[in-house]
Structure 1
Amino acid sequence: MRGWKRFTDWLLPRELTRRARAFAWASLATEIAIVGTGGSVRLTASGLGCPAWPLCTPDSLVPVPELGFHALVEFSNRMMSGVVALVALFTFLFLARQLRARRELFWLSFALGVLVLVQAGIGGITVLSSLESYIVGLHFVISAAMVVLAATLVWFVHLPAGRAAPLPRWVRGLAWTTATAAALTVLVGILTTGSGPHAGDLDVARNGLPTELMEHLHAWPAYVLFGLTLLLVLLAWRNGFVATRNLALWLVGAEFLQIAVGLYQSRNGLPALAVGVHMVLACLLLAIMTAVVLSTTRPRADTRTKP
């Protein structure tokens, strides 16, 4: 009995532990990584490599040799989904007893676990619908939301239980406006990708939107986002909001990379590798953007310096 109690105390700790913090980071890392593996499925035209779901074929859980390379790529992404699910499960278990003391940790980890199941269902619908473009896009939207939730969880597991006062309303408003521009940029980017050549399978129809026009519509909110972020850096610097300034500088770096990759891919016929990098960077950008917003709404006590 004593050994069982030790095991349950390890699996369901009463306190916020170092392993809970480590698994919060692992949740964020795996949520971003699965966007990369999912992108590889789409960009190598392997979306129907496993033609059935949840089995790879009607008679086999794993790929059979006859299906070849594309089945291995698609099945690898399914296995990555299992890794994400396990990480989400252990993250929730390590935080399950925080419902009273730190309820935000409980509900964030719970929401991530629920969305893993939702994503599995949408993944199945994606295959069964033969990669319908808007369902594939929804799959990415849910992934982006999970990245934001995981980034929020990482922030909160490192935040003391006591709440520090938020930064002034004007800087919070600017941070949220910047976040809105980031969300709009990603959403238009998803539609742009859905109009391009990377459908996940050579015989799948695109969403019918004009790709060249969508590239311009995608670029406009991206440039607005870049300008708002520079303004946020400047004002945070002048007012001594150290954490917001530093995180916004990281955001500028991510946006600069995104703009560079976006320009490269649009001028070189949307090469698959560049599109994949663009997808992963989008999720990294959303994670940093989340931290910027949280640094203004739920800051640590040491986020300001004296003017």
Structure 2
Amino acid sequence: MKPSVRFPVTSTLLARLAYTSIIANVAIVVTGGGVRLTRSGLGCPTWPRCTDESYTTTPEMGVNGVIEFGNRLLTFVVGIIALAVVLGVLAQRPRRRGLLPLSVAVLLGIPAQAVIGGITVLTHLNPWVVGLHFLASMVVIAAAYALWRRIVEPDGPATPTVPAPLRTLALLTTLVSAAVLVVGTWVTGSGPHAGDQGAARNGLDPEAISQVHADGVFLLIGLSVALVLAFRAVGAARAARAAALLVAVELGQGLIGFVQYFTHLPVVLVAAHMLGSCLVLLASLAVLWSTRERRPVAPPARPAPAAEPVTAVA
């Protein structure tokens, strides 16, 4: 009987698949924003069907139906990529520790996110559910990023690269970044881009909640600048570069936010702001990962060969 042939899954191939998964999950956030910004949120007025009689859009539903249904189809593309990562992890020999739970978490997060998306339709785009839909995508992106980093890192134990107080500061910065994302969904829920003309708003005062969001952004930038200076002070060059990139992304995102606010939320800038939210999250996670590193595990030393017995010569 011939031995079964396994498809070789290298760490490079697996890393590329995981990186593609990150890009795909960011893309579906942006396209999901496009659904809302084009008022196509109820282009398919029910879920999981597109209409009561059809799983697909119909000509009578027009361009809004096409946009909404197209975004639903993208969920399958993202899911296929995530499934490919899981299969790649299972096929890898030797299998790396910790990869399978992370890859399964990403895979299961996609249908969970899709179900929340369906609930948004069934609740006629309730702004709180819409916000939860966005945040669920952020969780999946974070898991996909963690998986990618685990793949590209060596398989040794994690060791700190900066003192404990700075690791705590990096964690605090990441938590503030997450809080800014949460408050950002409240701002969206109070604004004009509801996804459909008949969708309700959350009732919060747009100016007041926008100010709270801006205050959180200022706090986040301040913490990030402090990280840059602190990492440089202790000679952690890699961590300092990651923090400097985070500051640059935050400044770009903040600029977009201010411009869109004072120009009455043009669609293009709102879409750019959603992409920026994903980039801020990824940059925050990169800083957190830069506070420790994994080194390759040294192979066990081979025992020295036994010395040959010496025979005495008479």
User: What's the TM-score, normalizing by structure 2?
Assistant: 0.89
Do the aligned residues in 1 keep the contact of 2:155 with 2:294 (CA within 8 Å)? no
Aligned pair partner of 1:266 in 243, 261, 264: 261
Q: What is the match of residue 243 of structure 1?
A: 238
Question: Contact 1:229/1:252 (CA < 8 Å) preserved in 2?
Answer: yes
CA distances 1:102-123 after superposition (whole Å, capped 9, x unpaired): 3321111110111111112111
2:155/2:295 contact within 8 Å kept: no
**Residue 209 of structure 2 is aligned with which of 207, 214, 218?**
214
Identity %: 40
2:174 is aligned to 179
Which residue pairs with 2:164 in the alignment? 169
CA drift at 1:60: 2.2
CA distance in 2, matches of 1:267, 1:114: 40
Structure holding more helix per residue: 1
| Counterpart selection for 2:22 from 15, 22, 28 | 28
Q: Secondary structure at the match of 1:103?
A: coil
Q: 2:44 touches 2:50 (CA, 8 Å); kept in 1?
A: yes
Deviates more, 1:75-84 or 1:52-61: 52-61
Q: Which residue of 2 aligns with 1:65?
A: 59
1:1-307 matched pairs, under 5 angstroms: 5-6=4-5, 9-10=6-7, 16-96=10-90, 101-167=95-161, 168-296=163-291, 298-301=292-295
Measure the CA separation in 2 of the matches of 1:93 and 1:260: 41
Hey, what's the Cα distance between the residues in 2 that align with 1:229 and 1:288?
11
Partners of 2:46 and 2:121 within 8 A in 1: yes
Structure 1 segments (4+ residues) deviating >4 Å: 97-101
Task: Count how many residue pairs are aligned between Structure 1 and Structure 2.
Answer: 295
Secondary structure of the residue aligned to 1:216 is helix
Query: Once structures 1 and 2 are overlaid, which stretch shifts more, 29-38 or 231-240?
Result: 231-240
Larger deviation, residues 152-161 vs 98-107: 98-107
Give TM-score, length-normalised by structure 1.
0.91
Question: CA separation in 2, counterparts of 1:36 and 1:280?
Answer: 6
Gap change, CA 1:65 and 1:222, over 3 Å in 2: same
Q: Does the 8 Å contact 2:97/2:155 carry over to 1?
A: no
Cα distance, 1:226 vs. partner? 0.5
Letter in 1 for 2:202: N
* Aligned AA (1:207): N
> Per-residue deviation at 1:97?
5.4
Q: Which has the larger radius of gyration?
A: 2
Q: Are the structure 2 counterparts of residues 199 and 2 from structure 1 closer, same or farther at C-alpha, using a change threshold of 3 Å?
A: farther
| Unmatched 5+ stretches in structure 2 | 297-314
Correspondence for 1:305: none
Q: Aligned with 1:165: secondary structure?
A: strand
In the alignment, the residues of structure 1 paired with residue 113 and residue 2 of structure 2 have an alpha-carbon distance, to the nearest angstrom, of 39
